[in-house]
Structure 1
Amino acid sequence: MQLSRRSAMFALGATGLAAMTNEPLLAARRRPFFERIGKPIGLQLYTVGENVEQDLDGTLAAVAKLGITDLELPGFLGRSPQQLRAAADRAGVRFSSIHLFAPSPFYPDALTILNPAQEIADALNVLGVRHVVMPSLPTPKGFQIPKERNIGLAIAAATNAGGVAYWKKGAKLLNERAMALRPYGISLAYHNHNVEFQPLEGTVRGWDILLEEADPALVRVELDVGWVAAAGIDPADELLRLRGRVQAIHVKDIMASNQPNFAMQQAPADVGTGMQNWPRLLRAAEAAGVSHYYIEQDPPFANSRMQSVIRARAFLGTIVA
C-alpha cells in the first residue's frame, strides 16, 4: 500500500513537472495565430473590386487603417508602377506580390507574364515586388468570351477539352517563365481554381500534371484554399501534401451549402463564417512553410466588399491555432 502511495505521488509530481515544462508552449498556442507566427495578415486587392481602381488612395488608406499593410496586386489597376508605388508609400502599405495573366480575351492590353523578363523586372523593381503569380493558364486556343453561357462553365469545358496536353503545355510555360525571371531575383508561383482537380484520364488531374511537370525549384504554389474546398478537397490536407512548395495562400471561405465541383463555381462566404476549419487549416499552412496570407473573397458579397474585409480581418486577428 505504501509503495502504491509513493508511486501515485511520483506520478502526480511528474505530471506537474510536465505541465510546468510545457507551459510556455501552451501559452504560445493560446496566443492569436498571426501574433504567434509573426507574419502579417495580408489582402489580395481583387477583393475590394472597383473601389481600388476608382479611389486608389482612399482604398489603400482604409485598408491600412485596419492594420493590413501586406498587399497583393491583381494587376496594375490601370496605373503605372510609379503611380502605384507612390500611392502605397502615401498609405504606409507595401505590395509583396502581383498577379500577371497570360494574354487572353479578358486582359488584352495589360502587361502579361509573356512580356520580356526585363520589362517585367523593370516594373516590379519600381513596385518593390519580388513575387509574381500566374493566376491561371492561358485560355485554350480559339476561346472566346461567351455571350449567353456562364463564363466559368465555358472556361472549364474548354480547359477539359484540352486534356493532358493542355496541362503539360501549361507546366512547360511556367518553367520557361520562371527560368526567365529568376536571374532578376523574381519568383513565380501558380494560383489554382477548382478546374485543376477535374479527373482527366483515369484518376489523373490537371493539378497532378502541373505539380509533376513544373520544376519545384522554380515554380511555387499560391494555394487558394477556397477553390480547393470548392472542389471537395480538404485544404489542410493539400497544404501538408505540398509542404515546402506553397509560397502563399488565399485566405478564403465558402458556404457549407457549396456543392463540390470542378467548373469554376463556388458559394463564397466572409472569412470565418463558412465551412473552413480555420485552426486546422492555419496550422497546416504554418507547417507547410507559407510566407504570405492574403485575404481574398469572390463575389457575390453578402455585405459591402470593405465590410467583408473588415469582418475577415477581425476574425483572423483573434483566431487561435
Structure 2
Amino acid sequence: MTRNVIALQLYSVRSLGPLEDQLAATARAGFRAVELLEEHLAEPRVLKAMLDAHHLLAPSAHVSYPALRNGLVRLIDVCERCQIKQLFVPGVAFDAPRTSARGWRFMGSELAHLAESLHGAGIGLGYHNMRQDFLPLADGRIGFEILIAAARGSSLKWQADIAWMSRAGINPADWLRRHRGILVSAHIKDEAPVGTHEDEDGWSEVGGGTMLWPSLWKTATECGAWLLVVEHDNPRHPLEFARRSLSYLNRFNT
C-alpha cells in the first residue's frame, strides 16, 4: 500500500507566532509537510529557506481567486521555487456570490480556465469546499454540484473538507465516492461531542471527536486523496493538537 502524505495546515498553528515559529513547532510535532496560506507566499526565497531549515515540504497552498486571476505568473514562479505542486481555492476565498446557481456556475467556469493555465505549468488547481457548498439553494440544487458540472472536462480537482461536509448534514463518504475522479486531497479535522470544546468552535484533536476516521480515511484514500491535511480552526493548544492528531493518523498511514 502506498504511503500517503500527511501535512499540517498552518492555519492551525497561527497563534504560535511568526511563520518561522509555526514551522519549527510543526516539525517538533513530527510533521514532514505543511499546507501553506496565501500570505506565506510573499517572499518565496525566504519561505524556501525556512522550509529547508526545518526539513519540511510544502506540497500545497491555499490561495484566493483574486490572487490567481491577478497574479498567475507570480504564483507559478513561487510554486516552482518552493516545489508546491497543488494549489487550492477555498470557497471563502472566492469573490463571487454563492446564493444562486449563476454564481456557482461562474466559479466553476473560472476555476476550470485557471486550472488549465496552471496545468500547463505542471501545477494542479483544486477547489476546497466549505459547509455552505452542500446546503440547498433556493431551487433545491447543491452549489458544489453546479460548480463541478461547470468545470467538467477541465483539470480542476477537489480537496474535500470532510468535517464541513458532515456539518452540512450529509454523508461525506457518499460524496467522496461520487466524485472520486477529481478527489486528490482531504482536510482531516474532528468534531467534538455536542456541547463540548465550545471555546474551540466545537472542534477537537483528530481521533478525539465523534467522526469515524478509520472508515473515512479508508474511503478518502481509496477514492484518490493522496494528500491528507490535518487541521483545527481554533485549537486551544496548537502544538499538542498537532502532535496527538498525527500520532493517531499514523496508525492508518502504513
> Cα deviations across residues 208-229 of structure 1 (Å, max 9, x unaligned)?
1011111354100000011111
Contact 2:41 2:47 (C-alpha < 8 Å) held by counterparts: no
TM-superposed CA distance for 1:203, in Å, is 2.7
Percent pairwise identity: 27
Secondary structure at the residue paired with 2:173?
helix
TM-superposed CA distance for 1:116, in Å, is 4.1
- Using the alignment, how far apart are the partners of 2:110 and 2:166 within structure 1? 26
Residue correspondence of structure 1 range 44-59 to structure 2 within 5 A: 44-51=9-16, 54-59=17-22
Looking at secondary structure, tell me which structure has more strand per residue: 2
Verify: 1:275 aligned to 2:238, yes or no: no
- Using the alignment, how far apart are the partners of 2:33 and 2:253 within structure 1? 21
Hey, what does 1:33 align to over in structure 2? none
> Cα deviations across residues 260-301 of structure 1 (Å, max 9, x unaligned)?
xxxxxx6322211112111110110121011100101112x3
TM-superposed CA distance for 1:80, in Å, is 0.2
- Using the alignment, how far apart are the partners of 1:250 and 1:198 within structure 2? 19
Hey, what does 1:98 align to over in structure 2? 61
Hey, what does 1:308 align to over in structure 2? 241
Contact 1:57 1:87 (C-alpha < 8 Å) held by counterparts: yes
Contact 1:198 1:205 (C-alpha < 8 Å) held by counterparts: yes
Hey, what does 1:18 align to over in structure 2? none
Secondary structure at the residue paired with 2:39?
coil
Hey, what does 2:167 align to over in structure 1? 230
Verify: 1:132 aligned to 2:69, yes or no: no
Gapped runs of 5+ residues in structure 1? 1-35, 104-111, 141-157, 259-265
- AA at the equivalent of 1:38: R
Secondary structure at the residue paired with 1:166?
helix
- Using the alignment, how far apart are the partners of 2:54 and 2:4 within structure 1? 20
- AA at the equivalent of 2:249: L
The correspondence for 2:26, drawn from 58, 63, 81, is: 63
Contact 1:222 1:249 (C-alpha < 8 Å) held by counterparts: yes
Verify: 1:159 aligned to 2:98, yes or no: yes
- AA at the equivalent of 1:139: D
Runs of 4+ in 1 over 6 A off after TM superposition: none
Contact 1:40 1:68 (C-alpha < 8 Å) held by counterparts: no
Verify: 1:120 aligned to 2:120, yes or no: no
TM-superposed CA distance for 1:236, in Å, is 1.9
User: What RMSD in Å do the two structures reach over aligned CA positions?
Assistant: 2.1
- Using the alignment, how far apart are the partners of 1:240 and 1:78 within structure 2? 33
Residue correspondence of structure 1 range 1-321 to structure 2 within 5 A: 37-51=2-16, 54-77=17-40, 79-103=42-66, 112-136=67-91, 138-140=94-96, 159-160=98-99, 163-257=100-194, 267-299=202-234, 301=235, 303-319=236-252
Bigger radius of gyration among the two: 1
> Cα deviations across residues 149-173 of structure 1 (Å, max 9, x unaligned)?
xxxxxxxxx632xx11110111111
Contact 2:207 2:245 (C-alpha < 8 Å) held by counterparts: yes
TM-superposed CA distance for 1:246, in Å, is 0.7
> Cα deviations across residues 51-91 of structure 1 (Å, max 9, x unaligned)?
2xx33333323322333112110123374011110000011
- AA at the equivalent of 1:190: Y
- Using the alignment, how far apart are the partners of 1:200 and 1:286 within structure 2? 30
> Cα deviations across residues 33-68 of structure 1 (Å, max 9, x unaligned)?
xxx5412321111111142xx333333233223331
Distance 1:319 1:122, change over 3 A: closer
TM-superposed CA distance for 1:311, in Å, is 1.6
The size of the alignment, in residue pairs, is 248
TM-superposed CA distance for 1:190, in Å, is 0.1
Secondary structure at the residue paired with 1:38?
coil
> Cα deviations across residues 14-41 of structure 1 (Å, max 9, x unaligned)?
xxxxxxxxxxxxxxxxxxxxxx541232
TM-score (norm 1): 0.72
> Cα deviations across residues 225-274 of structure 1 (Å, max 9, x unaligned)?
1111110112222211211211100001112428xxxxxxx632221111
TM-score (norm 2): 0.90
- Using the alignment, how far apart are the partners of 1:308 and 1:96 within structure 2? 21
Secondary structure at the residue paired with 1:168?
helix
